[in-house]
Structure formats: C-alpha cells, structure tokens
Structure 1
Amino acid sequence: MLRAQLSRTLCVFAANRMTRLRAFPFVLCVLAAAAGCSRKTESASAAPQAQKQPVEVTSVVRRDLAETLTVVGSIAANESAALRAEIAGQVREVFFDEGQRVTKGQVLLKIDDSELRAQFAQAESRFKLAELSLARNQGLLETKTVSQADFDRANAEFSTATAELSLLRVRLAKTEIKAPFDGVVGGRSISPGDYVTPASVIAQIDDLSRLKIDFQIPERFIGKIKQGTSFTLRSRTLDASARVQGEVYFVSSVIDRATRASEVKGLLVEPPAGLKPGMFANVEIVLDVRKDALTVPEGSILASVRGAQLIAVKDSGSDKIAEFIPVELGLRARGFVEIVSSKTPLDEQQSIVAAGVGSLILFPGAKLDPKPLKAEIKKAE
C-alpha cells in the first residue's frame, strides 16, 4: 500500500512539472510584449524633449561700467556759529532782524558799557599822570637830581597805567557783538533789557554762500575715496531728475570702531535754493570706472556648483543649440555684470540667453528657439 501511494505522488509531481514547462513560453511572450510597450512609452515621453525651447536672447556688449556707492549724508552750512557775549551785562540795543543777511564785522548787539567807560576814564587819567611823571623823572635823571630808583618807579607806574588802559579798551570793544563772517542770522533768543552772560546764545549765524555735506563711508571702500573724488547728490526736496554735483575735500584718517566707517566731507557746487542746512540727502559716489568692459545682463548669469556660466546660442546646421560657457565675473553695476574672462572666447554681439536661465530646462546641446529680449528690458539697458 505504501508503494502504491509513493507511485501516485511521483505521477502528480511529474504532471505539475510538465504543466510549468508548457506555460514558460507564454510567460516569455508576455514579458516581451511588456518590454515593447515600455520602449514605446519611453520613446513617446522622449519626443517632447526634442522640441525647441523658446528663450529670450541678447548680445554681449562693450560699455563703460561705473562702480558706485550710495550713502546718506547730512547737509551743513559752509560756516556756522552761535553768537555769544564774551562779558556779562545788560543788552542795551539789538541791531539786526531775524533772517537778515549781514556782513563780517557788522555790529549786531550792544551791551551796556557805562561802568566800563567810567573805569576807562579813570584809567586814562592815571595814564596821563604816569606819562607826565615819567617825562619829569627822565629830565631830572639826566641832571642827576633824582635817583635811578625813583626813575624806575615812575617807569613802572607808566607801564601799569598803559596796560590797564589797554585792558579796558579791549573790554569796551567786547560790549559790541559783531558778525564773525558774512551770513544769515537766525532767530534771536534775547531782547533789549535782557541780561546776558558768556553762556547765553544770542542767535545763530550761517554762511550759506556754499553748502557742505557730511557722510560715512564703510571701511572696505575708504581706499577708493580721496580728496577730489566727485559725487552726485539727490534730495526729496528737489525734482526727481535734479542732480547736484559735489567734490570730496576731507577724508578722516581714522575709522570709527563703533560703525567701522570713516567720516567724509564734501562741498556742493552751485547748490539750488531748495537745499537747507540740516537736511539729509542721498550721496552717490563713483568709486571706479571700467572703460570698454565686456558686459552681460545679470539675469543671464547661471550660478552653479561649477561656478558662473553663460548659455550662448550656437549654430548647429539649421538649428540653434545651447552652449554652456564658464566665465569669471567682475564689476556689477546697474543690472549689468562685467565678464573678466571665459574658457571659450566671447565676441561682441555674441547671442546669449538673457533671462530665466535658472528656471528653464536647458542642457548642453539643447535646441533653442531664440526670441528678442522684451522691449522694457532693452529700454532699461
């Protein structure tokens, strides 16, 4: 019985194996068909990649490229001073109006000097007496009537009287407050009858014959600023197209540790009436000018792990294809970049992809459909 059961098991195993062998060609046919469908699908998906990629192109151009720096500055008068009295006293009279234009040496205010004039008259009497005494002793000394000690005493009294008279003359002159330079007097803070001291500010006087501007330059640019460097000033109080020219006349020799910047001052050439001391303005300084530089728009630069690249439009028979050119960049200014060097020589008027290089699906040899650069971008150029 065991022998019969073993025989039936071998027969079933043999039958199953024959069935598997018969099904194997069918499986091969199914796999081949699937592979064929896969190849058709891949070729169908690869077909759109062969289509031309529309791109906006422009040309490599040579132009003068200027490196500029824009900072904020504060406008100041050519000269500015706070008028103060050198001696204390009561204001007798004010000789100027607020906002009046005055000249150097003009008397603006008078302090009561009655007491000083009395002292001056007293000192003047002593001076005259000392002068007569000295002259008398001079004659007596020649005749040996007085001693040398008496003559020396008379000479000393004369010198003292002279010095005292000079001192009171100076103090009397200080009772008159005069304009230190030509300028415009501001609002006054005193009136006749007020008592002023050397700490009292009478008024502000400003020389507006020319204007200055004070600004800070970061330390990394300070080596490019020197006396005579030109700049352009723009202010919100002026028309948007108005530009005021200026020239640097002072560069500080130290760097501020707190701001890491250096103080720079400049003079404005023929400033308009709209500019006033105390206003702030934008100062644009020309740091460097590259003559006849090879330039491209900033949007045409492709930044990658291999460095900066340009995508040039190259002729390939009847097609236009993409050529990736590694480049070394230089100065950037007003939306343009200087091309210092490139592995493939770039000629002027060479067509390059001008915009969207980071978002377009491009690769070396890709077919391109060049389009002119947009009109507004050309206008900006």
Structure 2
Amino acid sequence: MKSSRACLAVVSCLSLLSGGCGKPTAAVARSNANYEQLVEVVPLARRDLVENLTLVGSIAARESAEVRPQASGVVTSIEFEEGSLVKAGQTLLRIDDTEIRAQLLEVEAELELAESNYRRMEELGRQNTIPQADIDAARARLLSARARVELQRSRLDKTTVRAPFTGLAGGREISPGDYVSNQTIVTTVEDVSKLKIEFQVPEAYQRKVRPGTTFRVSSRALESLDGVDGEVYFVSPGIDRDTRSTAVKGWLERSPAGLKPGMFANVELVLDVRHDILVVPESALLVTRDGMRITVVDRQGEKQVAKFVPVQAGLRSEGLVEVIPATAVDDGQPVVASGVGAINLPAGRALKTIPLRDELRPEFHAVD
C-alpha cells in the first residue's frame, strides 16, 4: 500500500510539473531568439595565393667528372695541385711513353718506305710498264702505314691525362710510380661556376612542374643563407616505379659561399599562382552533406545575423583557401572563422563579432 501511494505521488508531481512547463518554454525560446552568439571573424579578402610544395634536394655542380687515364702504364709525373683551379685541356698526369714512342718511330719508318714505293709505282704506271693492280696494292700499303702512324700517335697522346673542362681539381688518388689503367680514378674535376639542384617530385604534382617553374632553396647547414631562387630546366619524361616520383633539375641563380655539391637542401617549389582571388582561413569552411559553405555576417536593421553562403573550394596554401561563392558577397564582408563546426549557429542567429585571435590567424592580408 505504501508503495502504491508513493507512485501516485510521483505521478501527480510529474503532472503538475509538465502542466506548468508551457510558459517557461516560451520564455526560453524568446530569450534564445534575442541571444547574440559571440563569434570571431575575419574580413573576406582578395589576394594572390601561391601553392607551394616543400621537398628535399641535392646540390650538384654544373659539370662533374671522374678523371681516368685512357692508357695503361706507370705514372711519371703529376702536374696539378689538389683543390686548385685547372683549365680545360690542362695536363694533369703523364704516363711512361717510352715503348709507344719507339713503336711510333717504327711505323713512321714504314710509312716513309710505303710513300717511296708508291711514288715509284705511279711513275712506272705512267710508262705502262706495270699492271694497275700493282699500283693499287702499293697505294693500299701506303694507306695502311698512315693508319698505323695515326694509331700510335693517338696512343702516345693518351699517355697525357688532361682536364676535361675548367673547374676545381679534387683529391689526388695516385702518386708518381703507381701503375694506372683505364679503371683508375686520378681525381675529380667539378665546375662550380654555376650550381644546380636535383630533386624528386611526387607523381600527384608532376603535371604542375615544367621547365621555367620557379623555386627557392635554403639549407639548414648554412644559417646565414636566407634563400636562393632558381628555375627548373629539366623534368624527366617518366615516373620512377619504386618511388612514384619524377626526377627534376633546376639551376640556381647564384652560388652562395659555403653551398657545395653533394649538400642536402630544402626546395620550396612554386606549383601554382592565383591572382586577386577571394580567400578565407581554412577554419572558416564548414563541410555539410549539401556541400561546403561559409558563414558570413549579414545585417538586419541594427542587428548582425548569420548567413550561410555555399562555396566551392579552390587552391589551398598557408592556412588559406580560395572560395568561389554561389551567391554574391562583398569584399571585406566579415566571415565567421573560428569554431565553425562546433558552434550551434542556425541561419538568422544574432551575432556579436570580435576579430579572430592572432594565434589563430594565418598570414591574411587583402591585396591593395
């Protein structure tokens, strides 16, 4: 009996409470209608937007070569200093040529004899005392002797190792008296009068990279280097199957002191530049099932109210995104830019606006 009475008492109380809730609910509704939601805003601005891609590359010399002899033999002299500037064609190394010179004297003597015999054959031929076949054979022997002389002269020339181009000589790998062959590295020569950088671009971005694309190079190893501009001159026509990227090379406009071939460097590649476009912070975009939209601050009399504007998103860079509104908006019109997805903000809600906090504000300046 006590339990039944308690239940009846609870039901009675709930009935009284539910019956008395009508007026308070209406009051709350009127209060919410007049409530101004505090939001942070930025002006809808026009500016140039740049799409960048940051990569890691390797500095390379304009030209670089491992110098190897073309002849085998014993080194008789080395005629360059390590780290010195060498000119194109300058002698770097000499190999013992005693045997080759002796062979050259032998074939030169054979050439002299072949020339003498051929002259006699020609004279006899003019007198019609020998057949033409003998003259042709003498001429063939002459040409063969000349070829042997040229071969020996070429072999003799290869005993001198010369610089392939003007550049800085590297370390010396051999000494006088060493036996060298065409597999022996004598030194390296690098032309650092102009530097280039080599890097890989992921396949998703390779269509935006072409000869003439600009970039900026910086290096953590050189704190004093504030950046060097450059331009792409080569884009590989194929994609590497292992890395799914394409090889790209570019020239640097200048060669800063301390930047050396082989160093790693950061490359900021400019993929796209859009001029005078409407941009908002990425935090101002709200994605719904109907698409993307931004919330602009509109005016109704003296009040500021929320208005939804459907947009299409374009280029993104540095925390900003290009927006293409479906309806007309005014440049400089305030846009809700903070906590968009978390604020319960229906269309027409009264707003109280304050500027977006500095710590949440991307690099955001309208173009003058």
Q: Normalising by structure 2, what TM-score?
A: 0.88
Following superposition of structure 1 onto structure 2, how do residues 1-381 of structure 1 map, counting pairs within 5 Å?
Answer: 33-35=16-18, 37-39=20-22, 42=25, 49=32, 50-239=34-223, 242-342=226-326, 344-377=327-360, 380-381=363-364
Cα distance in 2 between the residues matched to 1:95 and 1:279: 29
Distance between the aligned counterparts of 1:28 and 1:284, measured in 2? 72
Contact 1:237-1:274 within 8 A present in 2 as well: no
Q: 1:316 to 1:107 in 2, by over 3 A?
A: same
Counterpart AA for 2:94: K
Unmatched 5+ stretches in structure 1: 1-23
SS in 1 for 2:279: strand
The superposition leaves residues 261-284 of structure 1 with CA deviations (integer Å, 9 ceiling, x where unpaired) of: 222211111121222111222222
Q: Which amino acid aligns with 2:206?
A: I
Which consecutive residues of structure 2, in runs of 5 or more, have no partner in the other structure? 1-7
**Whole-angstrom CA distance in 2 between matches of 1:267 and 1:250:** 9
Give 1 or 2: higher helix fraction: 1
Mean CA deviation greater in 301-310 or 30-39? 30-39
Q: 2:277, 2:346 → 1: CA distance?
A: 28
2:90 and 2:258 mapped to 1: Cα distance? 28
Query: Displacement, 1:32?
Result: 6.1
Q: What's the CA shift for 1:27?
A: 11
How many angstroms apart in 1 are the aligned matches of 2:362 and 2:320? Answer: 14
Matches of 2:122 and 2:284 in 1, distance apart? 100
What SS does structure 1 have at the residue aligned with 2:237?
coil
What is the CA-CA distance between 1:358 and the residue it aligns to?
2.0
Partner AA of 1:164 in structure 2 = R
- The two structures, once aligned, show a CA RMSD in angstroms of 2.6
Give the letter aligned to residue 72 of structure 1.
Answer: V
CA contact (8 A) 2:39 2:336 kept: yes
Per-residue CA shift, 1:238-280, capped at 9, x if unaligned?
A: 3477121111111122222222222221111112122211122
Q: 1:48 & 1:157 partners in 2: Cα distance?
A: 117
- The structure-2 alpha-carbon separation of the partners of 1:253 and 1:31, relative to structure 1 and needing over 3 Å to count, comes to closer
- Asked if 2 retains the 8 angstrom alpha-carbon contact of 1:309 and 1:326, the reply is yes
Separation of aligned partners in 1, 2:205 and 2:362? 31
Within 2, Cα distance between the matches of 1:351 and 1:55? Answer: 11
CA distance in 2, matches of 1:149, 1:155: 10
Q: Which digits, 9 at most, give the CA deviation of each residue in 1:282-313, with x for residues without a partner?
A: 22222222111011111111222332221212
CA distance in 1, matches of 2:358, 2:14: 56
In structure 2, the CA distance between the partners of 1:241 and 1:43, relative to structure 1 (3 Å rule), is: farther
How far apart are residue 369 of structure 1 and its match?
1.6
- Paired residue total: 356
Change (3 A) 1:240 1:379: farther
User: Cα distance, 1:172 vs. partner?
Assistant: 0.3
| Contact kept in structure 2, 1:51 and 1:367, CA below 8 Å | yes
AA in 2 matched with 1:154: A
Indicate conservation of the 8 Å contact 2:318/2:362, yes or no: no
Q: Hey, what's the Cα distance between the residues in 2 that align with 1:28 and 1:199?
A: 102
1:18 aligns with none
Give CA deviations for 1:2-35 in whole Å, capped at 9, x if unaligned: xxxxxxxxxxxxxxxxxxxxxx9x9998666423
CA shift, 1:376, in A, is: 4.7
What whole-Å deviation, never above 9, does each CA across 1:201-245 have from its counterpart, x for those lacking one? 111111111112222222232222222222222221334771211
Q: Is the 8 A contact 1:319 1:367 kept in 2?
A: yes
- 1:54 is displaced (CA, Å) by 1.9
| Deviation of 1:335 (Å) | 1.1
Counterpart-to-counterpart distance in 1, 2:270 and 2:101: 61
Q: TM-score, normalised by structure 1?
A: 0.85
Q: Is the 8 A contact 2:46 2:277 kept in 1?
A: yes
Task: Point out the more displaced range, 179-188 or 271-280.
Answer: 271-280
